Chains A and B, each alone.
Chain A
Amino acid sequence: MAAQALSIARTKPIMPVNPEEERILRFWTPVLLRIILITAVVLMAFGTGLALFVARYHIDPSSLRHAVAVQMRPTMVLSESIQGNPNAMATLGLMVLTLVPLVRVAFCFLLFLKERSSIFAAFTAYVLVGLIAGILLGKIG
């Protein structure tokens, strides 16, 4: 049994070896993650800059102790951002930022599907569903 286990462990390297996996993992994943991350950074920086220099928001640090953020629907955040609302723009940037882990896991899901590794595709699907369940749980309260 131990000898069999050793032989299995040795025959399957964990790093991708075929060109398709290489292409997904080493090229497309970093490219897409970079695009998402830079979009999030630009939105957050633009929203903060607008609040500072155009809308001239004033936040009293002493009021932060009791600060309660307003729950905004994604469609509302998007439409308010287009209208130039700094708060909505920063919120949109934060929402885009949370896409980074989602997309990373989605790429792993594709990788395991390509590998025809159904058990790992199922594990990855569980993680994806868990991340989406987090959004729903937050909405419930």
Chain B
Amino acid sequence: MLGLTVALLALAAGAGFAGALSGLGGGAFLVPALVVLIGLPMQAAVGASLLAVVATSAGASVAFVRDGWTNLRVAIVLECATVTGAIGGAWLAGVVSPALLEALFAIVMLQSAYFSMRKRDSDVLPASDPLCARLELGGEFPGDSGEPVRYGVSNLPGGSVIMVLAGVMSGLLGIGSGALKVIAMDQVMGLPLKVSSATSNFMIGVTAGAGALVFLSRGDVVPMVAAPVALGGYCRRDRW
């Protein structure tokens, strides 16, 4: 078992590193590695990966909130959508066949790679649309000169629909869905790219946590596999 444990630790840390380099996130590499290299059932691999995402993302959000980049209000509103999607996705993962899950995983990874390549900074919106203004979702971030730069937010319904999808993907496939979350905030809702990335990092742990709770309480987690995987994720966590 020592060899297996060391392999799981290394796979989780390596997947996190590859995920950060590619912009796809660690789950994109970890789930296939657990299924193909370790021989884990797809459902158990997804559960272990979600727990690793929780461990990896634990520090990032706190650092970004401290630095003033995370839009806490936008994060909380959109988390209503991602958590709903993640719970639905995690429930579906226990129902659909492993072969279908594997096929879905491949399709979603291709789509994530496409979105990652298309990621670009949009212009800062000077004002929020009426709904976002009513919810006071606009904010400010530290500019290059130190002066705060104000920005607006728009199209909350459109962003929320994509966030439900991001949540379903996270719960169903064991990924953080960070690329899709950033696209929704940056391209659909008009938030600045760095604010979108920081807010997405804050949200990833909560979305993955929602899915992980379903897997853990359903018993779709093999503790002696998931624990080393989560420890590997923790070793690669973003510093606090």
Contacts and interface: CB of A to CB of B under 8 A. Distances in A.
Q: Which of A29, A105, A136 has the most CB of B within 10 A?
A: A105
B158 interface: no
A87 B223 contact: yes
A120 B76 contact: yes
Interface in A74-100: 86-87, 90-91, 93-95, 97-98, 100
A65 interface: yes
Given A9-B150, A94-B221, 14 more contacts: A9-B152, A13-B140, A15-B140, A26-B66, A34-B240, A48-B5, A65-B40, A69-B44, A71-B217, A90-B223, A97-B230, A100-B209, A127-B83, A136-B217
A68 interface: yes
B115 interface: no
Interface in B165-191: none
Interface in A37-84: 37, 40-41, 44-45, 47-48, 51-52, 56-59, 61-62, 64-72
A2 to B, nearest CB: 6
Q: Which of B84, B129, B213, B215 has the most CB of A within 10 A?
A: B213
The DSSP consensus for interface residues of chain A is helix
A25 B61 CA distance: 11
Given A67-B222, A95-B216, A97-B54, A14 B72 contact: yes
A44 B231 contact: yes
B130 A5 contact: yes
A52 B227 contact: no
A64 B80 contact: no
A121 to B, nearest CB: 9
A44 B227 contact: yes
Contacts of A62: 39
A68 B223 contact: no
A91 B140 contact: no
A141 interface: yes
B140 A8 contact: no
Given A5-B128, A14-B72, A64-B38, A119 B220 contact: no
B216 to A, nearest CB: 6
Contacts of B76: 108, 112, 120, 123-124, 127
A33 interface: yes
Nearest to A46: B227
B161 interface: no
A45 to B, nearest CB: 6
Interface of B: 1-2, 4-5, 38-41, 44, 51, 54-55, 58, 61-62, 65-66, 68, 71-74, 76-77, 79-80, 83-84, 86-87, 90-91, 94, 126-130, 132-140, 148, 150, 152-153, 205-206, 208-228, 230-231, 234, 240
Interface residues of A, number: 75
B58 to A, nearest CB: 5
A39 to B, nearest CB: 12
Given A15-B68, A33-B62, A57-B1, A138 B128 contact: no
A30 B234 CA distance: 16
Contact of B135 (A71, A87, A119, A135): A119
A138 B213 contact: yes
A68 B221 CA distance: 8
A135 to B, nearest CB: 5
A100 B80 contact: no
A57 to B, nearest CB: 5
9 contacts: A9-B132, A33-B58, A90-B224, A93-B230, A95-B216, A123-B77, A126-B83, A134-B86, A134-B210
